[in-house]
């Protein structure tokens, strides 16, 4: 920067003003000279130095419970996109469902002076929001905020989504509809489970949030002839497992078993058969989370997750002509 200033016959202050288009005006002739000098010297501003002085890095931290889960992965992509739209870089880390790892990530990101932290489906036990607050940094939760944590949350309207799913299956003639939940009733899955219990009779099933477990469970139910005619599944990860298990057991979907999944990430459009889902509005959730992070304005009205009918509910699978995801 000093070199550029020297070559342009001016001061580093002026160089800064032209590189940043402000905050003070620069005479056209001076600006030209600076730009020419910068180009000649291939000058690239050092964002680290800028960050140290300006106390803003232009970097946000994104903490993921588990990017192997296609729903979280899709959400992560949208958040990275939303951040990039606002000229902010994304530091990512997978906590792998471990509170300890989650806490370590938060500490490291905070030490790296991120401008904010977005936490997708935080674990209980490690209060990232509190760490951030102690650091004077904003944090926002997406999808799920542990009961111990404070700070804003960007939620979807999970109860309404479940009601839509149940109503739709009922329209296909199912009177009892089972529900596949996670191992506990924490977070949005609990909301979904309770909304299902209020909406329809049926059996509560549980397994971990993994394809493997959901597939095994489905095979086991098929083997013991205890499969329901219709099943609402708490997460995409499990729904994909259910389809895999049904396929291995020779169970026809949707003929023998109708399925609706409640995350509805884009990947679900290309399962076999194509999953009917309630689709969480990932783009809107990401934009809202990032806006809240950058402006500090809170808005926790739930976002609508519309029903998307595809093949697994029993609707005819409409041929799609080259439709993008």
Partner DNA sequence: CTGAAAGCGCTTACAG
User: Which residues are within 8 A (CB) of 46 and not within 5 positions of it... i.e. 6 or more apart?
Assistant: none
Using CB under 8 A as the binding criterion, the count of chain residues that bind a copy of itself stands at 68
* 15 vs 307 by CB, closer to DNA: 15
User: Which residues are within 8 A (CB) of 80 and not within 5 positions of it... i.e. 6 or more apart?
Assistant: 62, 90, 92
Please pick, from the candidates 7, 31, 77, 206, the single residue that binds a copy of itself as defined by CB under 8 A: 77
CA atoms within 13 A on the CB side of 319: 1
Q: Under the rule (CB under 7 A), what is the footprint of DNA?
A: 1, 9-17, 19-20, 23-27, 29-30, 43-46, 49-50, 52-55
Q: Write down the least CB distance from residue 110 to DNA, Å.
A: 12
25 binds, among a copy of itself, DNA, none (CB under 5 to 8 A by kind): DNA
User: Under a CB-based contact definition with an 8 Å cutoff, are residues 117 and 61 in contact?
Assistant: yes
Contact positions with a copy of itself (CB under 8 A) in 155-194? none
Task: Write out the DSSP string of 186-252.
Answer: -HHHHHHHHHHHHH----EEE--SSHHHHHHHHHHHHHTT---SEEEES-HHHHHHHHHHHHHHT--
User: Under a CB-based contact definition with an 8 Å cutoff, are residues 150 and 133 in contact?
Assistant: yes
Contact positions with a copy of itself (CB under 8 A) in 17-46? 42, 44-46
Distances 317 to 83, 172, 225 between C-alpha atoms, Å? 36, 14, 27
CA atoms within 13 A on the CB side of 276: 28
244 binds, among DNA, a copy of itself, none (CB under 5 to 8 A by kind): a copy of itself
Stretch that binds a copy of itself, among 67-75, 138-146, 154-162, 171-179 (CB under 8 A): 67-75
Q: Write down the least CB distance from residue 295 to DNA, Å.
A: 18
23 binds, among DNA, a copy of itself, none (CB under 5 to 8 A by kind): DNA
Please pick, from the candidates 10, 15, 16, 90, the single residue that binds a copy of itself as defined by CB under 8 A: 90
Structure tokens at 136: 């004077």
Distance, C-alpha 61 to centroid of its chain? 13
Across-strand partners of 217?
none
* 5 vs 59 by CB, closer to a copy of itself: 59
17 binds, among a copy of itself, DNA, none (CB under 5 to 8 A by kind): DNA
Q: Which residues bind a copy of itself (CB under 8 A)?
A: 42, 44-49, 51-52, 57-59, 67-68, 70, 73-74, 76-77, 80-81, 84, 89-94, 107-113, 134-135, 210-213, 215-216, 219, 240-241, 243-244, 246-248, 266-267, 269-274, 311, 317, 319-325
């Amino acid at each position: 920067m000093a070199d550029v200033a020297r070559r342009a016959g001016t001061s580093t202050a002026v160089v800064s003003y032209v590189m940043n288009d402000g905050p003070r005006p620069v005479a056209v002739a001076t600006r030209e000279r600076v730009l020419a000098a910068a180009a000649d010297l291939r000058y690239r501003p050092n964002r680290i130095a800028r960050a140290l002085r300006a106390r803003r890095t232009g970097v946000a931290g994104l903490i993921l419970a588990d990017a192997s889960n296609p729903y979280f992965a899709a959400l992560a992509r949208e958040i990275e996109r939303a951040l990039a739209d606002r000229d902010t870089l994304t530091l990512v880390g997978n906590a792998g469902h471990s509170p300890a790892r989650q806490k370590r990530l938060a500490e490291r990101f905070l030490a790296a002076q991120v401008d904010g932290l977005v936490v997708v489906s935080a674990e209980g036990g490690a209060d990232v929001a509190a760490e951030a607050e102690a650091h004077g940094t904003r944090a926002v939760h997406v999808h799920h905020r542990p009961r111990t944590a404070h700070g804003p949350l960007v939620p979807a309207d999970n109860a309404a989504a479940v009601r839509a799913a149940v109503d739709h299956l009922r329209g296909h003639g199912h009177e009892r509809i089972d529900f596949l939940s996670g191992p506990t009733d924490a977070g949005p899955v609990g909301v979904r489970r309770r909304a299902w219990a209020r909406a329809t009779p049926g059996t509560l099933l549980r397994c971990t949030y993994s394809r493997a477990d959901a597939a095994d469970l489905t095979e086991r139910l098929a083997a013991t002839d205890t499969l329901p005619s219709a099943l609402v599944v708490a997460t995409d990860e499990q729904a994909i497992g259910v389809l895999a298990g049904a396929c291995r057991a020779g169970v026809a979907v949707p003929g023998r078993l109708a399925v609706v999944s409640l995350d509805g990430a884009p990947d679900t459009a290309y399962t076999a058969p194509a999953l009917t889902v309630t689709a969480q509005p990932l783009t809107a959730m990401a934009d809202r989370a990032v806006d809240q992070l950058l402006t500090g304005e809170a808005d926790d009205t739930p976002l609508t997750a519309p029903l998307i009918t595809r093949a697994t509910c029993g609707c005819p699978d409409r041929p799609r002509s080259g439709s993008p995801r």
